Structure 1
Amino acid sequence: MSALPVDDSPLDDVWAALAHVEHDPALAGFRAELLDGVIFLSPPPVPDHERIITRLATEIVRHDAKGEFTFWAGGSGLLTESGSGVRPDLIITDTDAFSGARGEYNPVAGEPIHLVVEVTSTSTRDQDYRRKRQIYAEAGIPYYLIVDRQQRVCLLHRLPDDGSRAHGEPVARVPFGKPLPLPEPLSFDVDTSTFG
């Protein structure tokens, strides 16, 4: 992962810089995110990373008989109130979420986001565990799932019932190969035996 510091430019200039980086042909396939005023570039994911995302998305579709949920994989950006622009590996929402959204990064506030997922890579692992966990909690996203390919474990974090915005210790820690129970409203177990 590479980082490009952004000075105290107006927010519009920061987003213009991010858009420029994302559309630079020399960086095709890289994912750009804005975390705390710094643009981070992540290299294109490896096939094992993408297989896990595909398997998670397939599980959601398989268990969503009523068609209540929508998921976005990889490309959809979230704009948080703190000004971060993140692109989770997977976002699970109600079907009508972001219905009118037209931007590459859409505000999180007021949207029914149930879960965001990050699958670790050696270049992004530290961000996934630290800063992104904090960003997703501050945005009020109730559940954050880290699928750690290096440790072969799934860690499900949850916002506490007291209204605070911090994902504490995981509420579920499931090694690859064991079923991962997802909370309401999803309410199904994910088969992690195919994660690697």
Structure 2
Amino acid sequence: MSAMSHDYADVDPESALKYAVQHIKGDRAQIVEGAIEPVSPTWAHENAADLIREQLGPRLRELGLRAGSGNLDLPGSSNWYVPDLAVVPAELAKTEGALLPDQTLLIVEVTSDSNGDTDRTVKRRRYAEYGAPLYLLVDRQEGACTLFSEPGKLGYTRVEGPYPFGTPVQLPSPFDLTLDTTDF
């Protein structure tokens, strides 16, 4: 019996990697600069994300928006992110596949000991490059929140903060909402 021969020359490595991460059994995973990382947040991490979701909830319903942690694809790169929270129009929230960062209105990442540097640098740069209009970094190790806006190919051109936890953070239009960061 002879081994079957396969020609993988036509396989796009980016597509293959993103297909693989979507079919990992068990926990969710993301790809950051080509490295597959499991997504397994702690309760303290989830607490911060949930407090933001609760504060945003009533305003999101008024605006016809939804919040979740669905997959974000960054085409042309080896990145496939699972944000802690992304706000999108209600119609896009019905999408089965991944969305693009420029389809969001707000992305929130909450740092953990294991991924703080990724959220502070890599994801901030990539979200800006891919047009995410607002990026809120909740840095639990530093005890501060920073809001990034006005994205461009070289990064965000507007930075507000870092604000120590307990300092209100004003989210601009369309949210026009002040976040209470006391219990993060």
Q: TM-score scaled by structure 2?
A: 0.83
Contact 1:159 1:165 in 2 (8 A): no
Distance 1:144 1:56 in 2: 13
Larger Rg: 2
Residue 16 (1) aligns with residue 19 (2): yes
Structure 2 counterpart of 1:5 = none
Cα deviation per residue 1:89-145 (whole Å; 9 max; x = unaligned)? 00012222254x222x33445x2x111010000000010011111111111001111
Gaps of 5+ in 1: 1-7
Gaps of 5+ in 2: 1-10
More helix by share: 2
Distance 1:121 1:65 in 2: 29
Match of 1:96 among 87, 91, 99: 91
Deviation at 1:155, TM superposition (A): 0.6
Q: What are the within-5 Å matches in structure 2 for residues 66-81 of structure 1?
A: 66-72=62-68, 74=69, 76-81=70-75
CA-based RMSD: 2.2
Structure 2 counterpart of 1:181 = 170
Percent identity over paired residues: 29
Cα deviation per residue 1:146-175 (whole Å; 9 max; x = unaligned)? 101111100111125xx5551246223221
Distance 1:189 1:146 in 2: 15
Give the partner amino acid of 1:10: P
Pairs aligned (count): 173
Contact 2:101 2:127 in 1 (8 A): no
